[in-house]
Chain A
Amino acid sequence: MSEDEIIDPIRLWREWMIKSEKQWSDHLTELMGDERFSKGMGRYIQEGLHSHRIFSDGMAQYLSSLNLPSRADVLDVGDRLGQIEDTLAGLQVEIREQRAQLTRLANTGVAPVDTDQPKRPSRTKQPPTKASS
């Protein structure tokens, strides 16, 4: 008996689940569209925001008393890292523009040719004719 011929009930269940997933999902989505669900979800989010605020404030004080960084401190570090990334991105753009400028000058013979700069392709391509495509 080959392995394929062995009846694997778990695999069969998985295959049934995969095939019927859309119906189950549609049913659940329909339930979530119910007004009671959306009201409950709205309430849950509002309460979540409120408890998040209380918990964050309390935790910040606690962490501060332990001389440990709070979430706000971590976010500050994240923001500073993001600003450094922005600056690096700006430098990348600037270097590319300077190289492009050098290439333009090299074309007029004013500056040495930058051999690393990729050659610009010509923009003359035409769509294939019906016969050739």
Chain B
Amino acid sequence: MSTLAQTSRQAPVDDTFESHVGRTVERAISRNIPGLRIPQTESELDVGTTPKDLIYSRDTARLYQYRPLLDEIYRVPLLIVMSPVAKGYILDLAKGQSFVEYFLLQGYDVYMIDWVAPRREHAALGFDNFVCDVVGDAVNKVLEVSGEPDLTMIGYCMGGMLASMYTALNPDGAVKNLACFTTPVNADGMTLYKRWAEAKSFDIDRLVDELGIIPGDMVNASIQALRPLQKSAGQLNLLNNVHNDAFVKAQLTFDRWASDQLPIPGEVARGMFKDFLMDNKFALNAFELRGETVDLGKITVPFLHVAAEYDHIVPTAASKDLISMVGSKDKQEIVVKGGHVSLVAGGNAIYRLWPKLDEWLRERGT
């Protein structure tokens, strides 16, 4: 037997701890240490790639129409209202993991209101601008482009607030169906923020007057405070799975999105802090926009609320009252396992929520 054959058959495995560390380091280097190659931009992440056309823009809002993927689609168009503090690409991740692509493939005509970072000139934009102007104009544009008299509206997180406010203010309007995902309605359920607001130690007026636009980092820090060690745990989990390329890519994409918060116009921040958090006006049907009171009881269209059981950003305690407050007879709530983001992206969403949502929508989409 040759020496080479002997070596390969009895390949000695050095099982000392030092050699294990050495092999791990070697392997990490040979794989270019994927954990350290952190994508910096949306194009590097390769997200938001489903073909779309910009059909309307106003202030910080952009309305996109996604190009249909089927020759035959449901009559009623689908308008997604994204949260103004988050980027819409979470709903359009990679091929096969995109909320938007999934619904295009099911035969829906999909539109989305996405947001860009506000500039100093946008500091005075408030909830009234977002609801009455942006959502109002977007609805008209979708009707014009689709040629249909009505649409289905889906709001995610704060986008759900905007969508429900618009529908409540326009009970005889074009919204045929309304679905809200993890939408905060009762500030009493947002314990930490409520305590901060009630301590009256935080001068929101001074902050808004001084900064004009509330920086994305500040928004991010306030969200991080709700679960301060989650990001660190995520990094440790990344280290444990550094050899799994798919895991690394997915984790980095989620991390990137989670820290990619958009700044908020000062007036919106003031409205969130004073009217929503301190006075809890949304839950009391006392939120006013341009002199009109937002009464969620006036929503009578078919309504779906989707909440996540382990959502720490909008806990179920903050969103569960929505279903009882809307006046619709046809209303349904789905509570799925998972958190704020895994509700709309990732395996949990793909296999659990999206098919359920499709089932709800298609019955009401003709």
| A interface, CB within 8 angstroms of B | 1, 3, 6, 8, 11, 14-15, 17-18, 21-22, 24-25, 28-29, 32-33, 35, 38-39, 41-43, 45-46, 49, 52-53, 75, 78-79, 82, 85-86, 89-90, 92-93, 96, 100, 118-119, 121-128
Could you tell me how many residues of chain B have their Cβ less than 8 Å away from some Cβ of chain A? 57
Q: Known contacts A21-B230, A39-B199, A41-B201; is A121 also within 8 Å of B362 by CB?
A: no
Q: Known contacts A29-B192, A35-B199; is A78 also within 8 Å of B119 by CB?
A: yes
Check: B121 CB closer than 8 A to any chain A CB: yes
- A37 vs B120: C-alpha distance when bound (angstroms): 31
Asked whether A25 lies within 8 Å of B230 as measured between CB atoms, the reply is yes
Residues on A with beta carbons closer than 8 Å to the beta carbon of B324: none
Asked whether A121 lies within 8 Å of B237 as measured between CB atoms, the reply is no
Q: Say how far A12's CB is from chain B's closest CB, in angstroms.
A: 10
- 1/0 per position for B103-134, CB-CB distance to A under 8 A? 00001010000001101110000000000000
Asked whether A49 lies within 8 Å of B207 as measured between CB atoms, the reply is yes
- A12 vs B53: C-alpha distance when bound (angstroms): 49
Q: Known contacts A3-B20, A18-B237, A90-B57; is A123 also within 8 Å of B225 by CB?
A: no
Cross-interface CB contact of B206 among A14, A43, A49, A86, cutoff 8 Å: A49
Asked whether B233 lies within 8 Å of A96 as measured between CB atoms, the reply is no
Residues on B with beta carbons closer than 8 Å to the beta carbon of A22: 227
Asked whether B236 lies within 8 Å of A127 as measured between CB atoms, the reply is no
Check: B10 CB closer than 8 A to any chain A CB: no
Which one, B35-43, B68-76, B81-89, B291-299, is touching chain A?
A: B68-76
Asked whether A29 lies within 8 Å of B54 as measured between CB atoms, the reply is no
Name the residue of chain B whose CB is nearest to the CB of A72.
Answer: B120
- A52 vs B206: C-alpha distance when bound (angstroms): 13
Cross-interface CB contact of B54 among A6, A32, A42, A96, cutoff 8 Å: A96
Chain A to chain B: the 4 pairs with minimum beta-carbon distance, closest first:
A42-B201, A21-B233, A38-B199, A127-B362
Check: B245 CB closer than 8 A to any chain A CB: no
Q: Say how far B16's CB is from chain A's closest CB, in angstroms.
A: 9
Q: Known contacts A18-B233, A21-B230, A45-B207; is A38 also within 8 Å of B195 by CB?
A: yes
Asked whether A38 lies within 8 Å of B73 as measured between CB atoms, the reply is no
Residues on B with beta carbons closer than 8 Å to the beta carbon of A78: 119
Cross-interface CB contact of B73 among A33, A43, A125, cutoff 8 Å: A125
Residues on B with beta carbons closer than 8 Å to the beta carbon of A79: 119-121
- A68 vs B15: C-alpha distance when bound (angstroms): 60
Residues on A with beta carbons closer than 8 Å to the beta carbon of B196: 33, 38, 41
Name the residue of chain A whose CB is nearest to the CB of B73.
Answer: A121
| B interface, CB within 8 angstroms of A | 13, 15, 17, 20, 23, 53-57, 62, 67-68, 70-75, 107, 109, 116-117, 119-121, 145-146, 148, 191-192, 195-196, 199, 201-203, 206-207, 210-211, 225-230, 232-233, 236-237, 239-240, 362-363, 365-366
Asked whether B210 lies within 8 Å of A125 as measured between CB atoms, the reply is no
- A86 vs B60: C-alpha distance when bound (angstroms): 9
Q: Say how far A125's CB is from chain B's closest CB, in angstroms.
A: 5
Asked whether B201 lies within 8 Å of A15 as measured between CB atoms, the reply is no
Residues on B with beta carbons closer than 8 Å to the beta carbon of A42: 199, 201-203
Residues on B with beta carbons closer than 8 Å to the beta carbon of A100: 145
Residues on B with beta carbons closer than 8 Å to the beta carbon of A118: 67-68
- A33 vs B197: C-alpha distance when bound (angstroms): 10
Cross-interface CB contact of A86 among B57, B195, B203, cutoff 8 Å: B57
Cross-interface CB contact of A93 among B56, B68, B73, B203, cutoff 8 Å: B56
